[in-house]
Amino acid sequence: MRAEVISVGTELLLGQIVDTNAAYLSRLLAELGIDLHNRSTVGDNFGRIVDAVRLALSRADLVITTGGLGPTEDDLTKEAAAEALGVEVVTDEDSARRIREFFAARGVQMPERSLKQALRPKDGRVLPNEVGTAPGAIFEKDGKTVITLPGPPAECIAMVDHAVAPYLREKTGGRGIIKSKVLRIAGLGESAVEERVRDLFGGRNPTVAPLAKAGEVHLRITAKAADPAEADRLTADVEAKLRERLGDLIYGVDDETLEHVVVHRLIELGLKLALAESCTGGLLSDRVTNVPGSSNTFLGGIVAYSNEAKTKFLGVPAGLIESRGAVSHEVAKAMASGARAATGADIGIGITGIAGPGGGTPAKPVGLVYIGLSTDGGESSHEYRFAGSRRDIKERGAQAALVLLRRQVEGVTGRGTGVGRG
Amino acid sequence: MRAEVISVGTELLLGQIVDTNAAYLSRLLAELGIDLHNRSTVGDNFGRIVDAVRLALSRADLVITTGGLGPTEDDLTKEAAAEALGVEVVTDEDSARRIREFFAARGVQMPERSLKQALRPKDGRVLPNEVGTAPGAIFEKDGKTVITLPGPPAECIAMVDHAVAPYLREKTGGRGIIKSKVLRIAGLGESAVEERVRDLFGGRNPTVAPLAKAGEVHLRITAKAADPAEADRLTADVEAKLRERLGDLIYGVDDETLEHVVVHRLIELGLKLALAESCTGGLLSDRVTNVPGSSNTFLGGIVAYSNEAKTKFLGVPAGLIESRGAVSHEVAKAMASGARAATGADIGIGITGIAGPGGGTPAKPVGLVYIGLSTDGGESSHEYRFAGSRRDIKERGAQAALVLLRRQVEGVTGRGTGVGRG
């Protein structure tokens, strides 16, 4: 089977948004072994959407569109797909009812035009939207298929995962596949990671490709095989080599986040966590609480932005702040221990630093961050010098704290050099 | 002038990377007033790249490609562009020397095939690569132009900024420009915003287009004009109409964030802020502290994830939590007042709710959120029912709190209905 992906939206052509949906769909098609030779992007223009769908149908059996399913006059994808395929659209009563209910549940009057979203191919299938109001649809005619999906990424991804992937999996059952596995590495910089594993990048099947993320490196292993078992065998071989080189620096696989790994380990160990944040401003608490079930380990966080808050909530002596400075090893440790003592947690983290853009001095420049760790075994503090914007420094700080926490709870020793230093 | 952008690379079609280059080029073209109706993506396949360039040349005067300029056998874009245009390529001695020097400076032996990157159109122009080894090129023939750029974003962007933008600016000199302005709206849902201003969406110049973000609506006004002053006049006219309809619901323009507006207003008024977060888990503190200078108003935040933390740090009576439940109007108000009292702030916010996926009951379902506001004028609390994932609910909660805060500090009255309800 051969597919094409068409992204619809003038906002894409104006560069106002980056097209993450197309990448998501591309990954799915690769995993299913469906060839994808062309992707295209068009604006919210009926004639050009029809042309794009027709061209794609001339080269492929399956065309997936994203965008242009909303209630406005500019949303024309379903109508254009029907025109290109030569099929009729009718109002889907079930979708119309859902849309009415969506508004009713929110106590908002439904604009009449919202019902435009309930159009469906006469002989096709409706894909319910679990996140928003615009349903998707599957159009089929003469062995060709067009699937229309909504543009907002959360809606698109939910529909792909719950409806499109199962539909395509059934349609392609038994053919060759492409399977990827991502190894996630934290605590070692990109160049240092590549230094250790570069010779493994040359392979044809599986391939290994690095991708640098904020404070992490991801290595993607991609295998082509007749079936998942063969792909897994090919992947396991190169994965073993990568693990030999990188050891404990690999904290997780695929979509596992560092906070997920840390929170789950804390829960497993029955340990309680408390956080005291200054320069990261709540970002670390935010990441920890993104993990479902984090309330089983996370007792609370203090965003101690002022010196008074550090003293009042965390018991950091005002004299210590005065003598050492709010950004110091001593205050980071006192914050960590203060968070632990105030909540009765087993592990406390304290982060203090200068996120900028103002507030830096030659002795304590923007990007200087101290992270303190407190357990019943004692206190420690680590110094970091991060580069980048205010947001970059917040992100690097929160990431470094999670790396420290993981090392604490996994009993991982610092194998790499320059851990978290950049 | 009409342009098309072609992204070349099998890694794009496998979904291994997101195409940020295409968005960057799209923004540049829009700024220069060059129409972009189609973008496409092809893999590293000579025949398909030739086809894509030919198709683009049949619809446009200017084709910009990214990717496929490297030294490997898979890098074929320059050869394909030459084939599509019917022009010759020759080795550029200057580029060949630079490539040799690049390797020499790094003490690495140059693989012979690296010299493939020095190919240039016989009558065209070479674009030096300041970041990597693969130069770009400009091919011109019969009034058509093809520009080939490298794929790695750092190399592509540097070449666009230093060579392509000046080249195109000169080429379009004196011609029209496209200028955009974004009005940012919070506190009214997308449909309700559209209901008020839909009749203004039909205009051709300037155009007005809505874009829904998490809990916000952005209206983008895009004007085509001979010069910036004319674009500003055209924009001002429709902006005045939009402001008449939406009034104070418009909180900012262009890249101004809601937290930016709120924090700056608080600083102007000399007011101090304290936050108490349960279900949002620190996200609101994180957003507030993303604003440089927020330490001038933000005293601190408590992420009171456990009931004990609510009692200990915020003085919420344990009996109140027991009788009303942690997720209730009363506890939201007590959290807000507790944060204010504990820090000496002028304004306190308390957020409590059920972010899910677990923890919901029929009476208190996932998505139920209470936000309390406390000032020396008294306490209030607002109930919300949000839909979506755990992250969605956190984001909607933080957004609703900022809307409330803005209304408090701007003296804005609730004009819209369904404020923050979805």
Segment A151-180 shows an average pLDDT of 85
Give how far B123 is from chain A: nearest CA, Å.
30
Structure tokens at A187: 């605590």
B74 touches chain A (CB under 8 A): no
Give how far B126 is from chain A: nearest CA, Å.
26
Q: What is the pLDDT of residues A185-232, one digit of tens each?
A: 998 877 788 888 988 887 888 988 877 677 888 898 988 888 889 999
Considering only CB atoms, which chain B residues are within 8 Å of A285? Answer: 277, 281-282, 285-286, 303
Segment A344-362 shows an average pLDDT of 95
pLDDT of B417 strictly over 60 = no
Helices B307-314, A329-343: axis angle to 10 degrees equals 110
Size of interface A-B (CB pairs under 8 A): 280
Segment B180-199 shows an average pLDDT of 89
B78 in helix, strand or coil? Answer: helix
Share of chain A above pLDDT 70, in %: 96
Restricting to A residues 245-284, those with a Cβ less than 8 Å away from any Cβ of B are 275, 277, 280-284
Q: What is the pLDDT of residues A230-264, one digit of tens each?
A: 999 999 999 999 999 999 999 999 889 999 999 99
Q: What is the DSSP letter of B110?
A: P
Write the CB contacts of B360 (distance below 8 Å, at least 6 apart in sequence). B354, B366, B367, B368
Q: What is the pLDDT of residues B313-364, one digit of tens each?
A: 999 999 999 999 999 999 999 999 999 999 999 999 999 999 999 989 999 9
* Nearest neighbour of A308 by CB, restricted to B14, B285, B299: B299
Question: Is A26–B11 a contact, with Cβ atoms under 8 angstroms apart?
Answer: no
Kind of pairing between the strands at B144-149 and B136-141: antiparallel
For residue A310, the model assigns a pLDDT of 94
Considering only CB atoms, which chain B residues are within 8 Å of A38? Answer: 40-42, 48, 52
Segment A174-180 shows an average pLDDT of 72
Question: Is B48–A36 a contact, with Cβ atoms under 8 angstroms apart?
Answer: no
Question: Is B13–A26 a contact, with Cβ atoms under 8 angstroms apart?
Answer: yes
Restricting to A residues 325-384, those with a Cβ less than 8 Å away from any Cβ of B are 342-344, 355-358
Number of H helices, E strands in chain B: 15, 17
Write the CB contacts of A106 (distance below 8 Å, at least 6 apart in sequence). B189, B385, B418, B421, B422
pLDDT of B413 strictly over 60 = no
- CA dist A382 and A332 (Å) reads 9
pLDDT of B174 strictly over 70 = no
What are residue A223's DSSP bridge partners? A179
For residue A74, the model assigns a pLDDT of 86
Q: What is the pLDDT of residues B7-60, one digit of tens each?
A: 999 889 988 889 999 999 998 998 888 999 999 999 999 999 999 999 999 999
- CA dist A244 and A253 (Å) reads 15
For residue A175, the model assigns a pLDDT of 63
Structure tokens at B400: 């609703």
pLDDT of B255 strictly over 80 = yes
Spell out the domains of chain B, with CATH numbers in brackets: 2-171 (3.40.980.10), 177-253 (3.30.70.2860), 258-410 (3.90.950.20)
Give how far A415 is from chain B: nearest CA, Å.
27
Q: What is the pLDDT of residues A259-316, one digit of tens each?
A: 999 999 999 999 999 999 999 999 999 999 999 999 999 999 999 989 999 999 999 9
Segment A17-26 shows an average pLDDT of 94
Restricting to B residues 280-319, those with a Cβ less than 8 Å away from any Cβ of A are 280-286, 288-290, 292-295, 298-306, 308-309, 312-313
Q: What is the pLDDT of residues B106-130, one digit of tens each?
A: 777 787 778 888 999 988 899 998 8
Q: What is the pLDDT of residues A316-334, one digit of tens each?
A: 999 999 999 999 999 999 9
Choosing among B12, B21, B25, B26, which should be mutated to test the A contact, i.e. which has the most A CBs within 10 A?
Answer: B26
Question: Is B30–A14 a contact, with Cβ atoms under 8 angstroms apart?
Answer: yes
Which residue on chain A is closest to B393 by alpha carbon?
A: A290
Question: Is A40–B45 a contact, with Cβ atoms under 8 angstroms apart?
Answer: no
Q: How sure is the predictor about A414, in pLDDT bands with cuts at 50, 70 and 90? A: very low
Share of chain B above pLDDT 70, in %: 96
Which residue on chain B is closest to A357 by alpha carbon?
A: B292
* Nearest neighbour of A15 by CB, restricted to B14, B27, B390: B27
Considering only CB atoms, which chain B residues are within 8 Å of A25? Answer: 15
For residues B289-326, one letter each, b for 16 or more C-beta atoms within 10 angstroms of the residue's C-beta and e for the rest, the string is: bbbbebbebbbbbbbbbbebbbbbbbebeeebbeeebb
Measured at the alpha carbon of residue A369, what is the angle toward residues A363 and A370, in degrees to the nearest 5? 105
Question: Is B209–A74 a contact, with Cβ atoms under 8 angstroms apart?
Answer: yes
Quick one: which H or E segment has residue B4? strand B2-8
Identify whether the C-beta of residue A62 lies closer than 8 Å to the C-beta of residue A2. yes
